[in-house]
């Protein structure tokens, strides 16, 4: 994004708003990851520690979730680039 049209105070404010939004998005993604993987994998509450099956389930769940998020982000970036190119033509 080009913020050159704004003065330095406005640029700083916009940067802070963007950083806050990015942190909120990250926290939402992290919360969804924890919620999904805990509910899917943790079902034996007779011990403080995870069992080997639960631990493997959590590892697989987080791996799939992160790969999915990465793929969605890549597709979003591709579509955004296509839209920007279409607007430029």
Domain boundaries, the chain: 8-88
CA–CA separation, 81 and 29 (whole Å): 23
pTM beyond cutoff 0.85: no
What angle, rounded to 10 degrees, do the helices at 52-88 and 8-41 form? Answer: 140
How do residues 40-73 score in pLDDT, each as one tens digit? 999 999 999 999 999 999 999 999 999 999 999 9
CATH architecture assignment, domain 8-88: Orthogonal Bundle (1.10)
């Amino acid at each position: 994004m080009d913020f050159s049209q704004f003065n330095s105070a406005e640029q700083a404010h916009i940067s802070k708003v963007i950083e806050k939004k990015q942190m909120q998005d990250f926290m939402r993604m992290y919360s969804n990851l924890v919620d999904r993987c805990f509910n899917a994998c943790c079902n034996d509450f007779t011990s403080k520690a995870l069992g080997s099956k639960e631990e493997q389930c959590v590892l697989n769940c987080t791996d799939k979730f992160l790969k999915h998020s990465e793929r969605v982000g890549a597709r979003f970036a591709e579509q955004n680039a296509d839209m920007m190119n279409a607007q430029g033509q």
